[in-house]
Amino acid sequence: MDYFKKLSIRWKVALATSIYILFVLLGAILFTALSFEQKLLKEKKQNTVENIKNIVESYKDSFVLRNLEKIDEMVKKIDGLPSVFYVSVLDTDGRIIGNTDISNLGFINKKLLKKFRNIPFTEKNRNILTLYYPVKVDRDSVGYVVASYDLNLLKFSIDREILKIVVQTMAIAVLVILVSFAGVFVISGYMSQPLINLKNKIMSITSTYIDSSELDISPVETIGKEDKSCIKNVADQCWLVGDNPDRILIEMGELSLKECPSCEKFSELSGDEISQLNYSFYMMVASLKEYLRKLDEAHRERETLNCMATMGEMSAKIAHEVKNALYAIGNAASYLKENIDNELVKEFSGVITDEVNRLNRMTVSFLNFSKLIEPKFEIGDFNSEVEKAVILLKPDMEDENIKLILHFDRSLPPFFFDRNLMKQVIFNLILNSIDALREKDEKDRYIKVETKYIKTREHTVARLTVEDNGTGISEENRDRIFQPFFTTKTKGTGLGLPMVYKIVFSHGGAISMETEEGKGTKFIIDLKIR
């Protein structure tokens, strides 16, 4: 079986076709032989009976004249027929006047006489057939003939004749198989050549895929001046007959997979299934190139968001720490200035107060940087934005061997929300899940992101659920997770979940949490659809 797998397509097709033809021919030959055998056997049986009757009728006068020599001659003729092994002749009294065994002559067999009827009939006992034939002259019986013949002998003689025919037929069948093998081998080689070319193109493209900018697509050969316009108006020309098909296809990207298969012009020009497979591969490559380009853009966007999130966290923490210190320094400087009557102290106290005010203004700037901006509501596809945000963090999950599960409710309609802020919500929630899973040393770790369209009489809601099977949140910390600067992480700032809460709140939504320590956490966000 392993050797068969290593064969080329043309060898596999040729061998499979030859084997199929062999089985078909063998089945046809065997079926024909069996049918022919039954038919010949039936004819042979009838011929044997007819021959016995004809011989008996030709010796009918011998029964009237009681010519025993002629009767003995008749017995020998009947016994000489193929497969006949027993003949007995009786007179009207049941006396045996002729027999293949001379010792039986003169013996009276009344029991055998009782079996005779007015008409000839045949009796079967296993593979032995016995013909009972009354000899009549003008409706009066003048004697009786009993002849037995063996069906096995009759069948054997027929099988010998059929075997000769089968051998000749098999020789013709072998010749047909050899000719068919050669023909199929040549035809399959011609038909599989496009697949071989496709394999070579796949190998050449995948070996230098990232740096490759050309797909090496040959335009379809058409008769006359083919209309090069794209009937769906998704490109400047139809890439199948365009002047620069690879450029057109790369520009179309994923759009080619969506539009071309349902295009009448594509169906007309793409040819058979193998040609369509080639063109489908080109469209897949173009789509993949576009996907890699978008992924690269998403990666850069992720790096930007990550940098901004880090700067925001650093700004908030520094501002928080500096503000407390500045408050103490400012109070101390004011106390010295008011209670010590010294010009030098008052001068330096003023300098300290001025610098404290300057640093305080800088702190306020840091705090303003860390604050959320007002949402910019735009109508959009919530599922699409969630998926884009998740893609940004997919490499982090893959690095931690975390399984990502996505369930999108496709019935969710477009609605108004701030795309950037919702990305930040998903970003923070998934990062928290990754941290929780990182602390849990298990193989089957997952993060499940799900959207759901909930429609009631009162309102319609877009629900976003982010769930993990991480360490969970302890009972004493559940009421504090949305408080600013509260964190259980050694490197955390405590601003992630409060930021999520503020963004959801600014959208007029609600956020809730379901958690169990040691088993996982689920955050549920409901946004009213406007």
Instruction: Read off the pLDDT of residues 216-260 as tens digits, 9 standing for 90 and up.
Output: 565 555 544 567 788 777 777 887 777 777 778 777 777 777 778
How much is the pLDDT for 85?
A: 86
| 147 in a structural domain | yes
| 430 in a structural domain | yes
Cα 444 to Cα 31: distance, rounded to the nearest angstrom: 60
How much is the pLDDT for 509?
A: 85
Question: pLDDT category, 523, cuts 50, 70, 90?
Answer: very high
Average pLDDT over residues 148-153: 83
SS3 342: coil
| 226 in a structural domain | no
Query: 395 and 507 share a domain?
Result: yes
Cα 40 to Cα 383: distance, rounded to the nearest angstrom: 77
Instruction: Read off the pLDDT of residues 296-354 as tens digits, 9 standing for 90 and up.
Output: 756 754 664 454 456 556 666 676 667 667 767 777 777 777 777 777 767 777 777 77
Phi/psi at 105 (nearest 5 deg)? -65, 135
Query: 413 and 357 share a domain?
Result: no
Six token digits for residue 350: 């003023």
Query: 305 and 342 share a domain?
Result: yes
Instruction: Read off the pLDDT of residues 36-49 as tens digits, 9 standing for 90 and up.
Output: 778 887 888 888 88
Using the 3D structure, point to which of 345, 370, 395 is the last residue of a domain. Answer: 370
Question: For 103, which DSSP code?
Answer: G
* Exposed/middle/buried for residue 490 (C-beta within 10 Å: 0-12, 13-18, 19+): exposed
SS3 523: strand
Cα 212 to Cα 292: distance, rounded to the nearest angstrom: 12
| 267 in a structural domain | no
Residue 122: CATH number of its domain: 3.30.450.20
pLDDT at 13 over 70: yes
Average pLDDT over residues 290-296: 75
Phi/psi at 74 (nearest 5 deg)? -65, -40
Cα 131 to Cα 411: distance, rounded to the nearest angstrom: 86
| 225 in a structural domain | no
Using the 3D structure, point to which of 96, 126, 157 is the last residue of a domain. Answer: 157
pLDDT at 152 over 50: yes
Mean residue pLDDT across the chain: 78
- Kindly list the distances between the CA atom of residue 493 and the CA atoms of 266, 303, 372, 473, 484, in Å, as whole numbers in the listed order: 57, 19, 16, 17, 8
| 241 in a structural domain | no
Range(s) of the domain holding residue 397: 378-528
| 316 in a structural domain | yes
The winner for highest mean pLDDT among 120-129, 277-286, 338-347, 447-456 is 447-456
Cα 408 to Cα 522: distance, rounded to the nearest angstrom: 17
Cβ-based neighbour number of residue 208 at 10 Å: 8
Cα 62 to Cα 81: distance, rounded to the nearest angstrom: 20
Instruction: Give one DSSP letter per residue of 397-425, joined into a string.
Output: HHHTTPEEEEE--TTPPPEEE-HHHHHHH
Query: 432 and 327 share a domain?
Result: no
Q: Lowest-pLDDT range, 206-220, 269-283, 420-434, 491-505?
A: 206-220
Query: 524 and 382 share a domain?
Result: yes
How much is the pLDDT for 309?
A: 55
- Residues 179 and 119: beta-carbon distance below 8 Å: no
Q: Lowest-pLDDT range, 262-271, 380-389, 472-481?
A: 262-271
Instruction: Read off the pLDDT of residues 455-470 as tens digits, 9 standing for 90 and up.
Output: 865 678 999 999 998 8
> Amino acid identity of 395?
P
Question: pLDDT category, 175, cuts 50, 70, 90?
Answer: confident
Average pLDDT over residues 108-123: 73
pLDDT at 439 over 90: no
Instruction: Read off the pLDDT of residues 135-149 as tens digits, 9 standing for 90 and up.
Output: 888 878 888 888 888
Q: Lowest-pLDDT range, 75-84, 175-184, 241-250, 430-439?
A: 241-250
Query: 384 and 523 share a domain?
Result: yes
In the chain, what percentage of residues exceed pLDDT 70? Answer: 79
How much is the pLDDT for 314?
A: 67
| 184 in a structural domain | no
Query: 441 and 491 share a domain?
Result: yes
Query: 54 and 114 share a domain?
Result: yes
How much is the pLDDT for 304?
A: 44
Query: 366 and 383 share a domain?
Result: no
Q: Measured between alpha carbons, how far apart are the two ends of the chain, in Å?
A: 63
SS3 498: helix
In the chain, what percentage of residues exceed pLDDT 90? Answer: 9
Query: 357 and 382 share a domain?
Result: no
The winner for highest mean pLDDT among 345-359, 398-412, 473-487 is 398-412
Using the 3D structure, point to which of 157, 191, 222 is the last residue of a domain. Answer: 157
How much is the pLDDT for 223?
A: 44
Residue 409: CATH number of its domain: 3.30.565.10
Query: 329 and 437 share a domain?
Result: no
Six token digits for residue 95: 């006396």
What total number of domains does the chain contain?
3
Instruction: Read off the pLDDT of residues 183-211 as tens digits, 9 standing for 90 and up.
Output: 877 877 777 666 666 666 666 655 554 44
SS3 242: coil
Cα 103 to Cα 99: distance, rounded to the nearest angstrom: 8
Query: 323 and 465 share a domain?
Result: no
